[in-house]
Chain A
Amino acid sequence: MIKHHPTFELIQSYVNGDLPASLSAGISIHAEMCPKCQQHISQLTEQIAAVSFEEDSFDIEYFEESSFEENSFEQLAEAGDFKLNIDEMVSNITQSKDITQVVSSTEKCISFNNKKYTLPRALNNMQLDKPVNIGKLSRARIQLSENEIHTSLLKINPGGGVPQHTHNGFELTLLLDGSFHDEQGEYHKGDFIMLDGSHQHNPVSDQGCLCFTVANGALHFTQGINKLLNPIGSFIY
């Protein structure tokens, strides 16, 4: 049972196309597993689209003309301060005989310690680095060139965990497979867990799990000996 979902604000930015690729992919992957969010997204897309393409004055004038006149485009161009050459663009576009076929892109897989995972569709064309290991953690960086935002696949092997830490920025953990728990409770496949700098947590996975993670600041370890780990905080997320 999925219990953790993206907020309305995040879903709205996702629909608008305003989120970075990393977070957009996170919401897309979650929605694939969560019919409830999928439906929110569909409804919101419909509403935003309708509002975006609402009539405005010059369009209404145009629309009410029942007969179609050659020069109406010129009028339209002036009325709307529209500097595009409509005739030229239309004829260029319609010259093309190409029809785009939907190719179901081949599934992308990744192996962590000989366990093979098929990755969600949203990651199909993203560039994955080879996994690197530290203790019971393996991490494969996803190269998205989003500056301070780091995106990864993080495998926690059975019994492993991330030491108590806080975040400088935000940290998204999306469970792709398996489960983990922290002080707040248990998390399962599909859960979309967004934390900010005010949270401290110590996720542990008894059976092992695979997560999609996005973070915009290095982890900051908070407890005892773990403070020694701080230089490698940026390794994990």
Chain B
Amino acid sequence: MQTNLLSKVTNDKSIPMSDSIDHPQLCQWLKAVAETRDKRAFTHLFAFFAPKIQRISRRKFPNDAQANEVVQETMSNVWRKAHLFDADKGAATTWVYTVMRNVSFDMLRKIKGNKEDNLSDDIWPIAESLQAEDSSFEDHLENKQLLNVIENLPEAQQQVVKGFYLMEMSQEQLATHLNLPLGTIKSRLRLALAKLKVQLGEKHD
């Protein structure tokens, strides 16, 4: 089970640029669209994602009209399916990416094979495509070595790690509880996990 933690850390670290994306802000906009059909929040989402979707689609589709259709379809789905986004299961970028990927896939089938069978949501079901990776940490509880390592973290990181893993609080709950911005919680958690990885060392990998 130890490797579980380590693979999580590895995964966490292997998204080098994700710090440059304001994930909590994207989540908030998506929630606002889902809960109050907030057009302003949607406009922000559109401004963030649409140019990127267009750029990605231009590489996949022979002409700009088709790339623009992917933008239109993907963003329509974001508007209509926002309530299916679950922030606990993954980042907003991951969710929008899967929506875009599915739209492109069905469109390419239509263009190449003349088939309008819309298979993508069966192949990659949106609602469940992102399985929670935070599988239980219970086994680690028994691991004194891990606990010792946690005890050696700076106090601020300890609070977050213990709350998140040992008490199974969400990052949002921790933010409220500790009266800190969500971004701070996330970066402390990231730092702490990076340290844990170093201290638990290669012997587990």
Could you tell me if A46 and B90 are in contact, using CB atoms closer than 8 angstroms? yes
Could you tell me if B123 and A76 are in contact, using CB atoms closer than 8 angstroms? no
Count of A-B contacts judged by CB separation below 8 Å: 163
- CB-based nearest A residue for B46: A90
Inter-chain contacts of B47 with A (CB < 8 A): 62, 72-73, 76, 86
Say yes or no: is A117 at the interface (Cβ < 8 Å to chain B): no
Question: Which one of B46, B98, B108, B119 contacts A45 once the chains associate, using CB atoms below 8 Å?
Answer: B98
Say yes or no: is A51 at the interface (Cβ < 8 Å to chain B): yes
Could you tell me if A49 and B39 are in contact, using CB atoms closer than 8 angstroms? no
Give 1 or 0 for each of B88-111: 1 = CB within 8 Å of chain A CB. 001101101110011011001100
Q: Is the interface of B mostly helix, strand, loop or mixed?
A: helix
Cα separation A84 to B79 with both chains bound (whole Å) = 18
Say yes or no: is B54 at the interface (Cβ < 8 Å to chain A): yes
- CB-based nearest B residue for A62: B47
Inter-chain contacts of A225 with B (CB < 8 A): none
Say yes or no: is A118 at the interface (Cβ < 8 Å to chain B): no
In the complex, what's the smallest C-beta–C-beta distance from B104 to chain A, in angstroms? 6
Chain B interface size range: 35 or more
Inter-chain contacts of B91 with A (CB < 8 A): 46, 49-50
**Chain A residues numbered 50-90 whose CB sits less than 8 Å from any CB in chain B:** 50-55, 58-60, 62-63, 68, 72-73, 76, 80, 82-84, 86, 89-90
Could you tell me if B20 and A52 are in contact, using CB atoms closer than 8 angstroms? no
Say yes or no: is A226 at the interface (Cβ < 8 Å to chain B): no
Could you tell me if B130 and A42 are in contact, using CB atoms closer than 8 angstroms? yes
20 more A-B contacts (CB under 8 A) besides A28-B124, A50-B93? A16-B101, A24-B123, A39-B131, A45-B130, A46-B91, A49-B93, A49-B94, A51-B17, A53-B49, A55-B20, A59-B48, A63-B22, A84-B54, A86-B46, A89-B72, A90-B39, A94-B79, A100-B80, A125-B119, A144-B113
Q: What are 24 A-B contacts with C-beta separation under 8 Å?
A: A25-B123, A42-B130, A42-B133, A46-B94, A46-B130, A47-B11, A49-B98, A50-B18, A50-B93, A51-B15, A55-B17, A62-B47, A86-B47, A89-B75, A90-B39, A90-B42, A90-B43, A100-B84, A105-B122, A121-B122, A121-B125, A123-B122, A124-B122, A144-B113
A residues touching B (Cβ–Cβ < 8 Å)? 15-17, 21, 24-25, 28, 38-39, 42-43, 45-55, 58-60, 62-63, 68, 72-73, 76, 80, 82-84, 86, 89-90, 93-94, 96, 98-100, 102, 105, 121-127, 144-146
